[in-house]
Chains A and B, each alone.
Chain A
Amino acid sequence: MNLKPIIPIIALSALAAFVPAMLTGDPLAAIKFSLAFTGLFVLPLAPWVALLDKQPLEQTVIAIMLGIPAAAITFFIIGVLKGPLTLPIFVGIPALIFAVGCWRLSKRQA
């Protein structure tokens, strides 16, 4: 599978999140925020939006616009069902969405 189409989306999101987080005065904190934001909200939808016939910046905008509610609504449903909202859930659900997206992207590329 060629992951090249998702790299600009990830890079744009990570860069955008890093710069304002530098206002904490701590580069490590900024990197942590940037990676967590991109990893949880943008990366999962990156292979999905890469399927759209749009420029990388617009794909990134769509990934952010949809990644935030998609993650939150999933966590909300798990929370209502009394499931634990622990690290494996916060990381695992986005990872699962990313994996399915990669599978779809690979099918399109094949």
Chain B
Amino acid sequence: MDASWLHKHKYEIAAFLLFILAWGLRANVDGLPLDYPGNIKAADPMYHALAADIIVESGRYGNLAPYFAQGITNMIDPSPPLNYLTTAAISKVSGLPTWVVMYLLVTLFEAFGVLILFFLCSRIFDSKPIGLLAAGLYVLPFGLSDWWYGMYIGLWNNVGGFFFFYASLLLAYEYWQKPSRWSIFALSLTVAGAWLIHVAELFITAFAVGFVGLRLLWKVPSIKEKVTHALLLGIVPLVSVILFWPRYQELSSFLTAGSGGAESSLFGWYYSTLPTLPFYTSLGQFPWWFLLVAGLGLLQLLVNWRKYLPLLIGEAYLFCHLFVFPWFLSAYYFFVRQRMALPFIIAPLVAYGAYHLIVRNTMKYAKIPEELAVIALVMLVIGLGWGEYQGITGLKQQEHLTPAKYDALHWIQKNTPQDAELVFVTGYYQMSGSFAKRVGFVFDLPDAVPALQSFVQNNGTVNLTLPYLGSNGDTEMAHNALDEGSFFEYGRGKKRYGPMNVLSFDYAVFADFQIGDQPVIQLYNNRMIGALINEHGGTLVYNKNGIYIVQVNA
């Protein structure tokens, strides 16, 4: 490796370093603790990490662990499995915990946009400096607390879906430029990847496939070659669709939940309801001057439209997909959530505009070499995003499952029978009790509020029958489809709902801290524990760090 080699590949080296920086910055948001899952902030990632754990421990794919399925051993897991399988493989080989491996992979998925943008834009604009600018814009995108929300809060499969979407765009452009068997087969893998990690991204990824399909029809010369390319494109997604379809059916109603609510029809007028939807983002998350540069870049592209036709078609389609279709198409998961990809989608426009507005003028008037001007601009952009980044790294302190809570769950794993049933009365909301790996009914916040209100209103009188709603607890993933009969036909189980009495469980778990009024929680716990021990023969078997476990049925 000599100086001329380094000089020749300076932009590639810079892009690689930006990628490592981007990956590290993303992984740092939630931290990577090896001894307890403190980087998990919500119910979704609790489930994702444990779904990978199940594969590691059992060596089997496809069934929910009994502790996720109210004790039923053959309930199917309907979630797309790619994230779980890749995490399980690395976890099994490396011995690292799944919550660390999965977060590293998810942050890789997010950060990989840096490299894809570099190669995509370098090729579209035939300019590595513009490619590097686009990559630099993605390291810390402006408005990152909104764009990264899915990553740091735990919509991890969603983030993986974007990885395959971006990869499909790069491969589609590769094929557009030079149709080849390898690139169309590669596209086949990324499309199947989108289907198997988060079905909702398949629709937006389909655009890239459609793009290739057109090229296939127009440019590939012989019929034989057209058929070969079509088979190469279709074979992996087709096999994946057939094998995953029965499970997809179990989730389809959830995924097609509309912008007008679960009962909405596919077509309607949803313009006014869009801003009320969860995870709603829009162009307003970017600063005005950033949008101005993007607009100027777009204008310049339009002037040169013949040269940049594929990019303009792509941007126009994606704009319609994200900003026009949702007005009248109700499948919110397929159209609105994908707005998290906006920093990637808008980066080529901004990079092109910034190159012509800033870099070229700097070169011309300040006589600065091109590479220096580009690197200075990239560093400036990253510097401007640094303040917001510092603001969200504080999330590391907001652990969903603290070491003390995890210790108690670990104690349960070691000291209770595998078929024990637990009720998590207070403290363990949003599936965090599931790390006990026992059938556990969690009285989540919405479930716990009526019981606490009743406790206060009745002047501290305890009621051992709790109004379990099954809203967000450990067993939420029990979808009732049983793995019996043929592969394409499932049996039906019966899910337990309704009020439950604490005395019907083997153990009851209480924690003196939960969002809300802590003195009331402590008083409530004391009275409940007292009643279980003094009136019903329970035994306090764990008392540490404000967490209490009562063995109810000795």
Which positions in A face B, CB cutoff 8 Å?
Answer: 12, 15-17, 19-21, 23-26, 29, 32-33, 35-37, 39-41, 52, 55, 57-58, 61-62, 64-66, 68-73, 75-80, 82, 84-87, 90-91
List 9 tightest A-B contacts by C-beta distance, closest first.
A79-B61, A69-B193, A36-B94, A32-B94, A20-B27, A36-B93, A65-B167, A90-B89, A75-B85
CB distance from A93 to the nearest CB of B (A): 9
The answer to whether A85 and B23 touch across the interface, beta carbons within 8 angstroms, is no
Q: Given A33-B101, A73-B240, decide whether A19 and B55 contact each other with a Cβ distance below 8 A.
A: no
CA distance A102 to B90 in the complex (A): 23
Selected from A12, A76, A87, the residue in CB contact (under 8 A) with B243 is: A76
Q: Are B182 and A85 in contact (CB under 8 A)?
A: no
Q: CA–CA, A3 to B31, complex, Å? A: 37
- In whole angstroms, how far apart are the Cα atoms of A71 and B535 in the complex? 57
Q: Which residues of B contact A71 (CB under 8 A)?
A: 85-86, 89
The answer to the question of B12 belonging to the interface, with a C-beta cut-off of 8 Å to chain A, is yes
- Can you show 16 pairs from A to B with CB atoms below 8 A apart? A12-B16, A19-B23, A20-B27, A20-B28, A20-B104, A32-B95, A64-B112, A65-B112, A68-B105, A69-B196, A73-B236, A75-B89, A76-B81, A76-B240, A85-B59, A86-B59
Q: How far is the CB of A27 from chain B (nearest CB, A)?
A: 12
A77-B239 in contact (CB<8A): yes
Q: Does B88 contact A (CB under 8 A)?
A: yes
Partner of B182, one of A35, A52, A84, A87: A52
Q: Is the CB of A72 within 8 A of B196?
A: yes
Interface residue B60 (Cβ < 8 Å from any Cβ of A): yes
Q: Main SS of chain B's interface residues?
A: helix
Closest A-chain residue to B123, C-beta based?
A58
Q: Which of the four size classes fits the interface of chain B?
A: 35 or more
Q: A29-B96, A69-B82, A75-B61 are in contact. Are A61 and B119 (CB under 8 A)?
A: yes
Q: 5 extra interchain contacts, Cβ-Cβ under 8 A, other than A40-B93, A64-B108?
A: A68-B105, A73-B82, A73-B189, A76-B82, A76-B240
Quick one: which of B15, B170, B236, B240 contacts A65, CB cutoff 8 A? B170
Residues of chain A lying within 8 A (CB to CB) of residue B85:
71-72, 75-76, 79, 85
Contact status A24-B34, CB under 8 Å = yes
Residues of A within 8 Å of B82, CB to CB, are: 68-69, 72-73, 76
Known: A20-B27, A72-B85, A85-B85. A29 touches B34 (CB 8 A): yes
Q: Note all chain B residues with C-beta closer than 8 A to A80.
A: 61-62, 243, 487
Q: Which residues of B contact A20 (CB under 8 A)?
A: 20, 23-24, 26-28, 104, 107-108
B184 shortest CB reach to chain A, Å: 12
* Shortest Cβ distance from residue B5 to the other chain A in the assembled complex, whole angstroms: 11
B186 at the binding interface (Cβ < 8 Å)? yes
CB contacts under 8 Å to A, within B226-247, are: 236, 239-240, 243-244
Say whether B215 faces chain A, with CB atoms less than 8 Å apart. Answer: no
In the assembled complex, the Cα of A71 lies from the Cα of B192 at a distance in Å of 12
Q: Specify which of B12, B19, B23, B190 is in contact with A69 (CB 8 Å cutoff).
A: B190
Name the distance in Å between B131's Cβ and chain A's nearest Cβ: 11
Question: Given that A57-B16, A85-B55, A85-B61 are contacting pairs, would A70 and B189 also be in contact in the complex, using a CB cutoff of 8 Å?
Answer: yes
Q: Bound complex: CA of A19 vs CA of B104, how far in Å? A: 11
Check B164 for interface membership: any CB of A closer than 8 A: yes
How far, in Å, is A25 (CB) from chain B's closest CB? Answer: 8
Given contact pairs A16-B19, A62-B186, A85-B59, A33 touches B27 in the complex (Cβ within 8 A): no
Residues on B with beta carbons closer than 8 Å to the beta carbon of A86: 59, 92
Q: Which residue of B lies closest to A19 (CB)?
A: B20
Q: Give the contacts of B161-176 with A (CB-CB under 8 A).
A: 164, 167, 170-171
Instruction: Give the chain A neighbours of B89 by CB distance below 8 A.
Output: 36, 40, 71, 75, 85, 90
- In the complex, A23 Cα to B165 Cα: how many Å? 28
Q: Once the chains are docked, how many angstroms separate the CA of A86 from the CA of B89?
A: 8
Min CB gap B192→A, angstroms: 6
* B189 and A66 contacting across the interface, CB-CB below 8 Å: yes
- Asked if B12 contacts A23 (CB within 8 A), the reply is no
Docked CA distance A87–B107 (Å): 25
Q: How far is the CA of A62 from the CA of B93 in the complex (A)?
A: 23
Known: A71-B86, A79-B61. A66 touches B186 (CB 8 A): yes
Give the residues in chain A near B410, CB-CB below 8 Å. none
B209 → chain A closest CB, angstroms = 14
Q: Is B9 an interface residue (CB 8 A)?
A: yes
Asked if B116 is an interface residue, CB under 8 A from chain A, the answer is: yes
Q: Evaluate contact between A23 and B20: CB separation under 8 angstroms.
A: no
Give chain B residues whose Cβ lies under 8 Å from the Cβ of A24. 32-34, 100
Q: Is the CB of A16 within 8 A of B20?
A: yes
| A residues in contact with B130, CB < 8 Å | none
Structural contact, B90 and A33, CB atoms closer than 8 A: yes
The distance from the CB of B218 to the nearest CB of chain A, in whole angstroms, is 24
Residue on B nearest A51 in the bound complex, by CB? B182
Interface string of B76-120 (1 = CB under 8 A from A): 000001100110111011111000110011011000100110010
Asked if B189 and A91 sit within 8 Å, CB to CB, the answer is no
Q: How far is the CB of B125 from chain A (nearest CB, A)?
A: 16
Name the CB-closest residue of A to B27.
A20
Q: Which residues of B contact A36 (CB under 8 A)?
A: 89-90, 93-94, 96
Q: Name A93's closest neighbour in chain B (CB-CB).
A: B89
Shortest Cβ distance from residue B151 to the other chain A in the assembled complex, whole angstroms: 13
How far, in whole Å, are A82 and B61 apart by their CA atoms in the complex? 8
Checking B31, B96, B115 against A23 with a beta-carbon cut-off of 8 angstroms, the contacting residue is B31
Task: Assess A76 versus B34: contact at CB under 8 Å? Given A36-B90, A65-B170, A66-B190.
Answer: no
